[in-house]
Amino acid sequence: MAPLLEVQGLNAWYGESHILHGIDMTVGEGEMITILGRNGVGKTTTLRTITGIVRARKGKISFAGTDMMQVPLHKTAHKGIGFVPEERGIFSTLTVSENLMLPPVVAPGGMTLNEIYELFPNLYERRTSSGTKLSGGEQQMLAIARILRTGVRLLLLDEPTEGLAPVIVQRIGEVLKTLKERGMTIVLVEQNFRFASRIADRFYLMDHGQMVSEFPVGELPQRMDVLHKVLGV
């Protein structure tokens, strides 16, 4: 079966800076992939380039058979790609419920509002507060929740556990596992590889704007030395 997402030779620039030097990556439907790497190697840029936020890009991005390089930014979601940025992007001038309802439904199969409130009961309680009055963990839940309504097939998550308490991190892990069981394809950028190792199927290791290594979760124990060296943990 053809992979859901196929990236080949992806290069990207921020102004004059050449960040991505030929990324190769495939993601099968229903898989959960984690991209590991130190700060500044281009993990976030990879997600932003696939989404189409970074337009100075060359190479091949194929999603469900569609060439994404030609797709304008405001059509990317409609093709089925959802993006949760590192900074979460919760809007302060919108209430929690407005934030939740903001991304338009792009395909059938997304969660209903009730299902979402069941998964995230605290969002229901806080639904009339301003979005940014929530705690960091709650904002992260909201950022993930609002994409779930839309029916996208691929979820790109940039460092969802960054700066969050262990209890919240665990909760997010449970949410992601539930999503995976429902058939969602997920690409995760994470520095916390212990968290990722509990839920991901495959890992990509990134350095200096390129993928330097790829391995399934089963091989993780053997790779710990390399990981320690490259990630500096």
Partner 1 sequence: MTMIFGIPLQALLGQLLIGLINGSFYALLSLGLAIIFGLLRVINFAHGAQYMLGAFVAYLLLNYLGIGYWPSLILAPVIVGLAGAVIERLFLRRLYDLDPLYGLLFTFGLALAVEGTFRYLYGSSGQPYATPPALAGGMNLGFMFLPIYRGWVVIVSLVVCIGTWLLIEKTKLGAYLRSATENATLVQAFGVNVPVLLTLTYALGAGLAAFAGVLAAPIYQVSPLMGSNMIIVVFAVVVVGGMGSIMGAIITGYVLGIAEGLTKVFYPEASNIVIFVIMAIVLLIRPAGLFGRDA
Say which residue the tokens 């281009």 belong to: 42
Helix intervals (H) in 9-110: 43-51, 73-79, 96-101
The interface with partner 1 within residues 12-31 (CB under 8 A) comprises none
**Among 39, 70, 92, 128, which residue interacts with partner 1 (rule: CB under 8 A)?**
92
Measured between alpha carbons, how far is 152 from 79 in angstroms, rounded to an integer? Answer: 8
Site track 94-113 with partner 1 (rule: CB under 8 A), x = hit:
x---xx-xxxx-x-------
**Among 15, 39, 65, 74, which residue interacts with partner 1 (rule: CB under 8 A)?**
74
Q: Which of 51, 40, 38 is nearest to 10 (CA)?
A: 51
First to last CA, the chain: 37
Size of the site for partner 1 (CB under 8 A): 24
Q: Is 231 an interacting residue with respect to partner 1 (CB under 8 A)?
A: no
The interface with partner 1 within residues 149-208 (CB under 8 A) comprises 150
Q: Which of 150, 143, 52, 156 is nearest to 104 (CA)?
A: 150
Instruction: Tell me the closest approach of the beta carbon of residue 215 to partner 1, in angstroms.
Output: 30
Site track 29-68 with partner 1 (rule: CB under 8 A), x = hit:
----------------------xxx---------------
Nearer to partner 1, 139 or 171 (CB): 139
Nearer to partner 1, 185 or 203 (CB): 185
- Helices 166-181/136-148 angle, 10° precision: 10
* CA atoms 25, 157, 65, 10: torsion sign: negative
Nearer to partner 1, 53 or 227 (CB): 53
Contact 33, 5 (CB under 8 A): no
Nearer to partner 1, 2 or 107 (CB): 107
* 11 strand-pairing partners: 21, 58
Which residues make up the interface to partner 1 (CB under 8 A)? 51-53, 73-78, 83, 85, 89, 91-94, 98-99, 101-104, 106, 150
